[in-house]
């Protein structure tokens, strides 16, 4: 009787491990600073007082960017007679390429389930909302 071929088993196992590690390396990485900026934009894109719950954060499928799926529950103070059930929503944030001299990413474009946000609105959000401490405190993912 012949002993089993251990080198062939090790080679096959090593090959599977190498393929697995290569696939993990191909998965798009999410920059934490970009994800934080995108999350901080959510309160500005929704009515004041809305309860925002992030359900998924992933790399955008079409081009570079970040997609956040979330649910929103409007409070009675927003103008509805009673609290309504959660509404599903999503946002895709795109960023300008960051030069090596800068540390923080810069928001370039936002798309929501209702369509793209105007460039002027993105600029004003970047300049007057995302740079203040209240925006960091309102981050629904913190």
Q: What pLDDT sits at residue 12?
A: 52
Instruction: Report the C-alpha gap between 85 and 74 in whole angstroms.
Output: 8
Q: Specify the DSSP element, H or E, that contains 91.
A: strand 87-96
Task: Work out the angle at residue 42's Cα, subtended by the Cα atoms of residues 111 and 55, and round it to the nearest 5 degrees.
Answer: 90
Q: What pLDDT sits at residue 21?
A: 45
The residue extents of the domains of the chain are 32-137
Over residues 11-41, the pLDDT tens digits come to 555 555 554 444 444 555 888 999 999 999 9
């Amino acid at each position: 009787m012949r002993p089993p071929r251990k080198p062939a088993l090790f080679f096959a196992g090593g090959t599977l491990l190498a393929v697995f590690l290569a696939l993990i390396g191909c998965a798009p990485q999410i920059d934490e600073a970009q994800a934080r900026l995108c999350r901080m934009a959510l309160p500005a894109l929704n009515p004041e007082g809305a309860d925002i719950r992030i359900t998924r954060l992933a790399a955008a499928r079409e081009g570079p960017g970040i997609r956040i799926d979330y649910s929103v529950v409007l409070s009675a103070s927003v103008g509805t007679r009673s609290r309504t059930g959660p509404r599903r929503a999503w946002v895709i944030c795109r960023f300008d390429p960051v030069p090596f001299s800068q540390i923080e990413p810069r928001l370039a474009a936002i798309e929501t389930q209702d369509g793209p946000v105007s460039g002027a609105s993105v600029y004003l959000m970047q300049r007057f909302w995302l740079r203040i401490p209240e925006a960091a405190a309102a981050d629904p993912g913190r």
